[in-house]
Structure 1
């Protein structure tokens, strides 16, 4: 488990030469849209890239708006695409997805040496994203580039006990995904977005490889993670995938 001061909540080589990580507050806020000084955020991003071992400004970020859009990117960043998922068809582009309660998902195909494409992807799946099918859209996009053996890693997000919502909202989601229905410890209605995402991945034949030996964590309950619900205007952690 990373130390408390680590930039990473979880970090591992998941396939030969391929790393997946989810940051902690030790990495600092990585989002430009929450009111922090832009130069400070850019400095946090540069330090993160150094910790990852990738070149400065190599990391791809998105302009996330809870859409169902999937961007296909190449190695050189060309600005932040207006999308809530990104696919790197050959896995050469380091990718980042920002969250502070929504579910960050990383996808990866088998490496070329094992007959795969090496393709990678990241997905931002909040309540809207779960509802509009961003998970399935991204899986179909990565497969359209030849990926066949896709695995997923689900990062820290608000848990089903902490994401309190109105009853009608829970019921509407449960009609589509019964596993999304949950309750808080007080018995009030809630949504379990990680469970919903796991079901959506299973429906499209993607296995989830859980971070070994380390719980993904609830962003609301864990002060080492940013949470908008706990602290409105909080920073953002990142889900990451890159070639080491």
Structure 2
């Protein structure tokens, strides 16, 4: 179920990165898929999410429709969207509203878990432990180059964050993420840390190092918790599964009994 789990301590903040093991999905989505209803069974997805929430003692989880952009959605103010147990499933389920299009979320609310879905892209969780400001971001190649992480950090600082930490979760590594030479050159002109070579000697991009570079230049302390999704058998991988795969998630939350300082 988890590749990494840190349950709430004295600061009340918990974070997790899931893997693909131990759920109810079958076939290409075996077994702990937290992906999309237009592919996997709604019943299996509900069962997987219920198991996750029961294990962590969480209420409804906030998910957005990720579009490889830089839009950040706040929860708990203007532009916030409502949550219920099925809201993460989107409008593929009758009666469930469409997900908001965005690639990052921020909140100062307690008991409002923020999730980012991935299957090779970089999941980034962020927090100011003292101020109780949380964020989650989906940082694939396009969003990373577009500035999604800078926008997320700025939105958190607007809400009082001062000393930020970020946790980079499982994603495809630079030794596996082959790209055309021209794409590599264009990307590295924006973020030099992206430059890498595959294990078979061709141009590639190191998304984790790129994300780390962006965050550290913005004054964020970075923790790397990021095994490769393509080579790790415990993960869904868009490239490793040839385009038809499930999703694991990164998840961050703060429990109500620990409220950050104003």
TM-score, with structure 1 as normaliser: 0.88
Query: Are residue 96 (structure 1) and residue 115 (structure 2) matched?
Result: yes
- Whole-angstrom distance in 2 between the partners of 1:172 and 1:12: 37
1:241 partner SS: strand
Aligned to 1:41: 45
The offset of 1:90, in angstroms, is 3.5
Aligned to 2:17: 22
The offset of 1:209, in angstroms, is 2.8
2:125 partner SS: strand
Q: Deviations over 1:104-157 (max 9, x none)?
A: 00000123xxxx2x0101000000011100000000001101111110000000
The offset of 1:14, in angstroms, is 6.8
Worse-matched range after superposition: 25-34 or 226-235 = 25-34
Aligned to 2:95: none
Q: Contact (CA 8 Å) 1:34, 1:233: kept in 2 or not?
A: no
Aligned to 2:193: 179
- Whole-angstrom distance in 2 between the partners of 1:14 and 1:167: 44
Query: Are residue 230 (structure 1) and residue 236 (structure 2) matched?
Result: no
Worse-matched range after superposition: 190-199 or 19-28 = 19-28
Aligned to 1:12: 6
Q: Contact (CA 8 Å) 1:31, 1:41: kept in 2 or not?
A: yes
The offset of 1:20, in angstroms, is 0.8
What do you get for the CA RMSD once the two structures are aligned? 1.7
Q: Which runs of 4+ in 1 moved over 4 A?
A: none
Aligned length: 227
1:104 partner SS: strand
- Whole-angstrom distance in 2 between the partners of 1:151 and 1:15: 16
Structure 2 residues not aligned, in runs of 5+ = 24-31, 88-98, 256-262
- Whole-angstrom distance in 2 between the partners of 1:63 and 1:204: 26
- Which residues of 2 match residues 79-90 of structure 1 at below 5 A? 79=87, 80-90=99-109
Aligned to 2:165: 151
Q: Deviations over 1:159-189 (max 9, x none)?
A: 0000000000000011111110111122100
Query: Are residue 192 (structure 1) and residue 206 (structure 2) matched?
Result: yes
The offset of 1:203, in angstroms, is 1.2
The offset of 1:222, in angstroms, is 0.2
TM-score, with structure 2 as normaliser: 0.82
- Whole-angstrom distance in 2 between the partners of 1:159 and 1:33: 27
- Whole-angstrom distance in 1 between the partners of 2:177 and 2:43: 32
Aligned to 2:127: 108
